[in-house]
Chains A and B, each alone.
Chain A
Amino acid sequence: MTTFRIKRYNPEKQPEPYFEEFKVDATEGITVLDCLNDIKWTQDGTLSYRMSCRSAICGSCAVKANGHAILACQRQAEHIADKDDTVTIEPLGNMKPIKDLVVDFKPFWDKIDKVKPYLHNDTPAPEKERTQSPEEFRLIDDASTCIMCGACYSDCNVLEVDDNFLGPAALAKAQRFVGDSRDKSTLERVKELSEPGGIWDCTHCGECVERCPKPAQPFYRIKEVMASALEEGVHNNNGARHALSFTKSVKHSGRLNENQIPVESVGFFNIKGLLELIPIGIRMLLKGKTPPILHRSIKEADDVKRIYRELGE
């Protein structure tokens, strides 16, 4: 018998959440959702969670299992259980629990709404429909597979500390339209997405790729929006300046110039930003940790420059 330790919460009866254990005969092939259903239907009808399709399509049943977000209907209990044959089930993270495993998705949907998840095209519609070539569709195919289950949002490392971050799902949805050959608002979109809380606040931790049950894999979509923003010339922010300074530095010497990049990232005329660099600069100077003032190139740095030239960079 597999033990399910489930985080229970009912603010109408008790203000603090608590864990309750249930035993389930988790036979081969049975999913975590099957086990939750077994508990609700045969042991405790008050257990609350969301579910619908049981086929990893609707995105309703995402929960945390042993600390990480999963789709309950997509994962088999025997693959999730730890060495003590126990599965700890909790509500998704970064969202407020309402009851047991049900969380409030409102901030999630508000952020999806913020990226204007619909096609912008005011040109007269053709007789039939606005078509795309298979190659054009391929650029937005992965983002199109998002089922908005919230697994990425739940485990996003930035959202744990900053509610203002749009988060992986909304930014992946944004790529669905930034990369759409029929959309006419690419520049406006990437300008908005380059604001604080947008693409450049992604910390590259890869957690969303790990949790995504579909090919949407938000981190890679965010990188695509970053590339679009740079291509569209939206450079007046720390993230874009950082990417450009970094790339330029590698071009010149084959390696990163750590003395240059902080200054170029915050911008030469950003007095407040430059002042904020002073404390760490002084700390590192006093400890002899400052990168060498004379920045040395790698051997064969000319070959690196030649590669840049050949690729038009």
Chain B
Amino acid sequence: MKFALFTGCVSKGATRELMVSTMKAADGLGIDFVEMKSASCCGAGVVSEKSPILNDALNARNFAIAEEQGLDLITICSTCQGNLKKSECKIDSDEEYKNKINGVLKEGGHQYQGGKINIKHFAHILSTPEGLELLKSKVKKPLKGLKVAAFYGCYILRPSGLSDFDKPDDPHGMEDIFEAVGATPVYYESRIKCCGFPIVMMNKTASLDMAGNALLDAIQSGADVVVTGCPLCHLSLDAYQPEIRKLKEKGYDIPILHLPQLISLALGHTPKELDMHKHIIGGERIMDKVTA
């Protein structure tokens, strides 16, 4: 399997451990990721606040780059996934708009054709029957006994008209992956909620309360660890965790992992190799829960 890897900005910045673990997971699974080094930011739903057409032109350029590589585009961030899909749907549904955008791209040597590539999140390809079989066949250290709570990240699920990942109100793709690596999925109501990250600069109290409610729900449902497919959720749930009032009051904390870190643990990597010690809430302790 070979894919064009759309890294997104945050895996190159504040969550570099996501990039490290993604490449280790791909390597262990025999998946060839070709990094899209000239791809720009997806806009994160923010550039479109300033200019919708600018946002779509940048993403059409990104799609054109994957088309030129002749590869499906893989994201490792729910936010990238949602925003790329949003641009794709908008451009593909309006030929006149597509022509206008291609007019803007022309001088740079890119043209978006449409219908040539798929845009999928890493979790998406791993949660297919083939992906799950591949995972099971490569597991070296089953994560038996580890209770794992998924935190999906809004944009991989909603708006469902743009997402073909899973059932938006009752997804199971991430939990299927957890089972494939030997762990026990924990189902809890907040797994499809928002982490609050997009408003942390505008309304920090509400943002941290949203993260706090979700983490309390996961902890009280028996989770040892929360695993997310979105690095922005990771920042909200991990980097801000010491400031979350709702957890502090109860004296709780809980490690948060990126999905490729969990997979890489099952592929035999150590927490240190996956930079889990760089998390604000150290993730190494979860290995104590894994039974031999």
Contacts and interface: CB of A to CB of B under 8 A. Distances in A.
Interface string B85-115: 0000000000000000000110111100000
Interface in A145-183: 157-158, 160-162, 165
Interface string B197-230: 1110111111101100100000000000000000
Interface in B130-179: 154-155, 157-161, 168-169
Interface in A222-267: 223, 226-227, 230, 237-239, 242-244, 246-247, 250, 254-256, 258, 262, 265-266
Contacts of B204: 276
B48 interface: yes
A205 B14 contact: no
Interface residues of B, number: 68
B198 A204 contact: yes
A215 B239 CA distance: 37
A41 B14 CA distance: 59
Contacts of A51: none
A89 to B, nearest CB: 15
B213 A206 contact: no
A116 to B, nearest CB: 22
A246 B199 contact: no
A280 B240 contact: yes
A15 interface: no
Contact of B243 (A242, A254, A279): A279
B104 A310 contact: yes
A250 B202 CA distance: 20
A227 B54 contact: no
Nearest to A82: B170
A128 interface: no
Nearest to B279: A287
B278 A157 contact: no
A204 B14 CA distance: 21
Interface residues of A, number: 65
Contacts of A200: 199, 202-203
B108 A303 contact: yes
B210 A160 contact: yes
B35 to A, nearest CB: 10
A291 interface: yes
A203 B194 contact: yes
B273 interface: no
A283 B235 CA distance: 12
B169 A67 contact: yes
B201 A242 contact: yes
Contacts of B15: 289
B206 A165 contact: yes
Contacts, number: 194
Interface stretch (A20-28, A31-39, A54-62, A292-300): A292-300
A6 to B, nearest CB: 19
A304 to B, nearest CB: 5
A209 B159 contact: yes
B280 A283 contact: yes
Contact of B206 (A201, A242, A276): A201
A298 B194 contact: no
A284 B194 contact: no
A290 interface: yes
A306 B201 contact: no
Contact of B213 (A161, A227, A280): A161
A313 B54 CA distance: 8
30 contacts: A157-B194, A161-B210, A196-B203, A204-B198, A206-B159, A210-B168, A223-B48, A227-B51, A230-B49, A237-B202, A243-B47, A244-B50, A246-B47, A250-B47, A254-B41, A255-B12, A258-B13, A287-B280, A288-B278, A290-B14, A300-B38, A303-B38, A303-B110, A307-B58, A307-B105, A310-B104, A311-B51, A311-B53, A313-B50, A313-B51
Interface of A: 66-68, 157-158, 160-162, 165, 196, 200-207, 209-210, 217, 219, 223, 226-227, 230, 237-239, 242-244, 246-247, 250, 254-256, 258, 262, 265-266, 276, 279-280, 283-284, 287-292, 296, 298-300, 303-304, 306-308, 310-311, 313
